[in-house]
A = this chain, B = another copy of it.
Amino acid sequence: MLFGVAYYDEYMPYERLEKDIAMMKEAGINVVRIAESTWSTMEPQEGVFDFSHIDRVLNAMHKAGIKVIVGTPTYAVPTWLVRKYPDVLAITAQGPNRYGARQNMDIANTHFRQHAEQAIRKLLVHVKDHPAIIGYQVDNETKAYNTAGPEVQKQFVAYMKTKFGTLEAINKAFGLDYWSNRINSWEDFPSMVGSINASQIAEFAKFQRKLVTDYLAWQTKIVNEYKRPGQFVTQNFDLEWRGYSYGIQPDVDHFAAAKALDVAGIDIYHPTQDALTGTEIAFGGDIARSMKVDASSGKNYLVIETEAQGFPEWLPYPGQLRLQAFSHLASGANMLEYWHWHSTHNAIETYWKGLLSHDFEPNPTYDEAKTIGKDFARLSPQLVNLKKTNQVAILFSNEAQTAFNAFKFGWYSQNNYNDILRPMYDALYRMNVGVDFIDPSSQNIEQYKLLVVPALYAAPDSLLQRLNRFVKNGGHIVYTFKSGFSDQNVKVRTTPQPGLISEALGITYTQFTIPQNVSLKGDPFGVGSDNNKVKGWMELVTPTTAKVLAYYDHPVWGKYAAVTENTFGKGLATYIGCWTDGAVTEKILADAVRKANLWGAAQLLHFPLITRQGTNEQGKTVHYLFNYSAKPGQLTYPFANGRELIKGETVPKNSVLDLAPWGVKIIEEQ
């Protein structure tokens, strides 16, 4: 089990290396990540390299028995590169980027690529034989940053030519006759920055995600030329950001981009104090674990960045740092790495604090980390390489996300795809239902018993047919509104809605509206009048063969169905035709879990008592028990007899367990 921090010798205000390593050792830290974003230090002038910071850290860490992950430094460009080649800065819809921040470059730019390649190769040649290095991270939190300048435009037109062949095909698929947007000659192909056509916007977004996939594959290929057997290459993927890690990342196709890598990595930041729920830890972990499900590496994912003290408002309460740490393991992480060791003394992230404050003194957060390090080291054999086998999966889709977000619930709506997906994930999390993520490219869809499919707004026929077959063959799917609505080009289907999935769902609709004072008739899920309200969106569903689980309560719309369920072949398909409150969503999903025969012992517990499980290297089932509350928790242990690993006590089935506020227990079945 790797326990680590990001470490920047470059940023230190005075000589700290030995003292820092001593404090790291005291905290059980056994890995550091270095070099990421330090291009200007490593290559102070074009072709002039200075590896002294890297060398001294590698040597000192090696001496101390601490492993090192070396990051390529490319996610922040040096001043000289921008001065000599101003075109390395991306041109976006807002104009040319400025120097200053990270992630301002055009990742497809030739000058950027040339200099990035040279820097990576020089670095790799220099460090490749160092024994401290266990792996590499290519770039960091990579996106295409909305790059849309003339050079990118050329590449996009070439991509479109390859993909669609003719302009006629594009004009047809994208409906470009509308508002005179028709393109009649390749040389007329307009820039996408002013587009009002969601098909174009979504295709350009897909092209930008492809730039990321290609870029990471390109960096990985370079690093692979140098890496030694046993070393890995990873990336630090991140999620949609809402002041913290919230949902599916719209700008990266995580599953495609992860293909080139040996092991998946992710950063997860989340509120703490009274707002700590563990949801983002579980969510980010489930995404990251699902990235490499098809890979042969067998390696669990790495949490490459998460907060120690973090933002001032995230300073953890006593116990929370431990709770967070074990929660990461419970999702299957094999590494937990804080960003960062110390707190930076200058610049924009001064108040994004590390394990240490600016004074480098021990503090309550660091002190708590020491207990984590000790427990990780002690329990590593039982906790590392946790295998999780879930029977429920959430099907997400970057294509559906981009397409949905182009329209939302109307021109003035602020809600996006993740506002629909996350409440479904959250409901399953609160019920302690383990979840994997799949996307339209996944080969393993058929292995699940229950699929949850939020707002699959854009999808090709082939996917919808595959999902119909999944039901027919005995699977259960819960769809929300707006699924099946448009094809892969964001052209709305010309059939009655919800398109091809009508067959499995046994419903149809031709109209929809925004609910005003609409509820579900008779509070069918027993959630109380506030939670029973319908918000944001409602489809006027008519069942063909489906059974209606809920009707709308409204003088005019009351004859239409809100929630339906349909037996199709050997399976069952549920449709949620409106945006329901989280309480209703949870009831519908609980019902679906039951009907899929997946309601088990874990479901006897409920948030704030969270349990997550897996199988360890010894083939034993490990149950994590978490109390996500400031109040003490009590539960009847519902699993087979086991042993609590932290305290070493035996725990018989049905024994009553107490969990401290923000408390953790880990029970290995015997």
Contacts and interface: CB of A to CB of B under 8 A. Distances in A.
A555 interface: yes
A346 B195 contact: no
Contacts of A185: 45, 80
Contact of A346 (B41, B80, B197, B309): B197
A484 to B, nearest CB: 12
Interface stretch (A215-223, A510-518, A523-531): A510-518
Contacts of A343: 492
Identify whether the interface residues of A are mostly helix, strand, loop, or mixed: loop
Contact of A184 (B79, B97, B357): B79
B516 A312 contact: no
Interface string A337-360: 000000111111111000001111
Given A344-B178, A365-B511, A359 B11 contact: no
A193 B98 contact: yes
B182 A40 contact: yes
Given A8-B177, A175-B344, A312-B512, 4 more contacts: A10-B178, A102-B179, A312-B537, A343-B492
A225 interface: no
A541 to B, nearest CB: 13
Given A196-B348, A492-B345, A516 B182 contact: no
A649 interface: no
Contacts of A361: 496, 510
B363 A510 contact: yes
B492 A78 contact: no
A104 B191 CA distance: 15
B177 A359 contact: no
A303 B176 CA distance: 27
A573 interface: no
Given A11-B178, A359-B510, A99 B194 contact: yes
A197 B347 contact: yes
Nearest to A102: B179
A12 to B, nearest CB: 9
A188 B79 contact: yes
7 contacts: A40-B183, A100-B181, A178-B344, A181-B347, A315-B511, A346-B492, A351-B407
A312 B538 CA distance: 9
A9 B142 CA distance: 44
A178 B354 CA distance: 14
Nearest to A178: B347
Contact of A274 (B10, B45, B359, B516): B516
B196 A78 contact: no
Given A100-B181, A346-B175, A313 B410 contact: yes
Given A99-B190, A194-B99, A348-B196, A41 B177 contact: yes
Contacts of A100: 181, 190, 193-197
Given A187-B83, A193-B98, A350-B407, A179 B37 contact: yes
A13 interface: yes
A79 to B, nearest CB: 4
A194 B78 CA distance: 14
A467 to B, nearest CB: 20
A181 B183 CA distance: 43
Contacts of A79: 181-184, 188-190
B41 A347 contact: no
A180 interface: yes
A491 interface: yes
Interface residues of A, number: 104
Contacts of A195: 100
A269 interface: no
Interface in A108-155: none
Interface string A33-48: 0000111110011000
A5 to B, nearest CB: 16
A198 B556 contact: no
A404 to B, nearest CB: 12
A80 B184 contact: yes
Contacts of A317: 556
A481 to B, nearest CB: 11
Given A191-B98, A555-B630, A40 B359 contact: no
Give the one of A99, A100, A193 with max B CB within 10 A.
A100
Nearest to A514: B313
Nearest to A181: B40
A243 interface: yes
A82 interface: yes
A102 to B, nearest CB: 5
A601 interface: no
Given A309-B511, A315-B512, A350-B198, A180 B493 contact: no
Nearest to A97: B194
Interface in A409-459: 409-410, 412
Contacts of A197: 100, 346-348
A162 interface: no
Interface string A485-529: 010011111111100000000000011111011000000000000
A555 B357 CA distance: 23
Contacts of A180: 37-41, 73, 76-78, 102
A187 B358 CA distance: 32
Give the one of A11, A179, A183 with max B CB within 10 A.
A179
